[in-house]
Amino acid sequence: MDGKRQLLFIFGVAAAAMGIYAAVRFFSQSEELRIQRAIYAAVAGVEQNDPQRYGRIFSLSFRDDVGRNKLVLLKMAEEIFQQFRPLRVEIKQLTITLNEEETGKADAVIGFKCYFKHAADGKLYYEAGRFESGFQKEGREWRIISLRYIDADEILFIQAVA
């Protein structure tokens, strides 16, 4: 009987230690890391052409630099993805700055390169550029409330090399 109590005590202490470790890991994530994870989840959604996944990062109060809202932006993305199939998106630069004056606000500069195929002719293209985005914390999630495209304005053809 004494051996069973010792074994239960050991398992109880081990379970409590694992629970405390998990709680500390979960609650000690930095806000920058949470924003970074949201961005990479959206990128994975773009690569998989999953509007539910990449649309999740945009706030309902989203407006881009020309005034488009979330619904218009997602409709535009759907139309683009009918013509082009994204193959891979690479994040080349990611700078996240938390707003010191306003809690729950952050800015990010996201440099990227996107490789994709044209659906009609199957040719490979790529686009490289940067986004300046404003983030707002909504509950536990960080969402984009503003977006501005900067840098490259052209899509480049990758010639097939035989």
What the block records as the tokens of 135 is 């983030």
Q: pLDDT 10s digit of each residue in the chain, 162 long?
A: 577 887 777 878 788 878 777 766 666 568 999 999 999 999 999 999 899 999 999 999 998 888 899 999 999 988 888 888 777 899 999 999 999 888 899 999 999 998 888 888 888 888 888 999 999 999 989 999 999 988 766 666 666 443
DSSP-derived letter for residue 119 is T
Sorted by where each begins, the domain ranges of the chain are 2-158
Q: How does DSSP assign 37-71, residue by residue?
A: HHHHHHHHHHHTT-HHHHHTTEEEEEEETT---HH
Architecture in CATH for domain 2-158 = Roll (3.10)
* Cβ-contact 39, 110 below 8 angstroms: yes
